[in-house]
Amino acid sequence: MGFALFDAAFSDSPSYGDQAAKQEKARQAAIDQGTSDINNAFAGYNTDFYNQRAKAYQQFALPQLSQQYQQTRNQLMFNLANRGLLHSGAANTQWGQLQRTNAQDKQQIADTGISQSQDLQRQVEGQKSNLIGQLYQAADPASAAKQATATAASFTPPSTFTPLANMFGNIAQQYYLSGLINRNQPTSYIQSGGGSSDAGALPPVSQGY
């Protein structure tokens, strides 16, 4: 009789293996839910988003490059005209150098935009990976969703870009250091129409795009 009661009591006791399996199943369901929430929070960070970030830098920097190009072009024109060299071989060399520098600077701006976009992508992916790691430890989908939403939103505003440095400084220094440019502003020469017969020697005005 006693053995029968013991066996009945034992059979009615909870199975620790079953409890552990249920807990693990619930934990995995929480992780699956949290992972889905994290992925949804970062869903907007796709190829189009990163391409747009690269383009945003180009749109910021190229107008500045165009302005620098025109200023340098005016300075070169004034200096060469001031020495009567607008139709010289030296002038052709300088115009060629100016055009090559402008083309190289445009490419550098494009490369910088891509590099910044790639850096941002690494930051986003790193934060997303950290959140998933925390989720696996805590198995708290509500907390994971909240953190993911806040973190993803922090990357949404456009980056604050640093103003473009002088991309034509090496060309300009050739004349500033030589002391051959007088103290008149180059634009005064252009506005006055001086040297208009030499206009054909000028390179085209670049808009930087």
Residue type, 198: D
- Pair of tokens at residue 94: 């300088």
Q: Which of 101, 98, 65 is nearest to 79 (CA)?
A: 98
What integer pLDDT is reported at residue 192 of this predicted model? 40
Contact 131, 148 (CB under 8 A): yes
User: Taking the mean position of all CA atoms in its chain, how far away is CA 15?
Assistant: 57
The pLDDT assigned to 184 comes to 42
Tokens of 39: 């992925």
d(CA 139, CA 26): 9
Written in H, E and C, the secondary structure of 121-141 is: HHHHHHHHHHHHHHHHHHCCH
**Alpha helices (H) along 139-193:** 141-154, 169-176, 186-192
Q: pLDDT at position 85, please?
A: 85
> Domain-by-domain residue ranges, the chain?
24-196
Amino acid making up residue 139: A
Q: Retrieve residue 127's tokens.
A: 């934060």
Q: Which pair of structure tokens corresponds to residue 177?
A: 């250091």
- pLDDT of 54 reads 94
- What is the predicted pLDDT for the residue at 82? 86
One-letter amino acid of 61: A
pLDDT tens for the chain, 209 residues: list them.
Answer: 444 544 555 455 567 888 888 999 999 999 999 999 999 999 999 999 999 999 999 999 999 999 999 999 998 888 888 888 888 888 898 899 999 999 999 999 999 999 999 999 999 999 999 999 999 999 999 999 999 999 999 987 776 788 888 888 887 676 554 444 444 444 444 344 444 334 344 565 555 44
Confidence at residue 79, expressed as pLDDT on a 0 to 100 scale: 84
The whole-angstrom distance between residue 24's C-alpha and the CA centroid of its chain comes to 42
- The C-alpha atoms of residue 94 and residue 27 are separated, in whole angstroms, by 70
Q: Could you give the CA distance from residue 59 to residue 164 in angstroms, rounded to a whole number?
A: 12
Report which residue type is found at 48: D
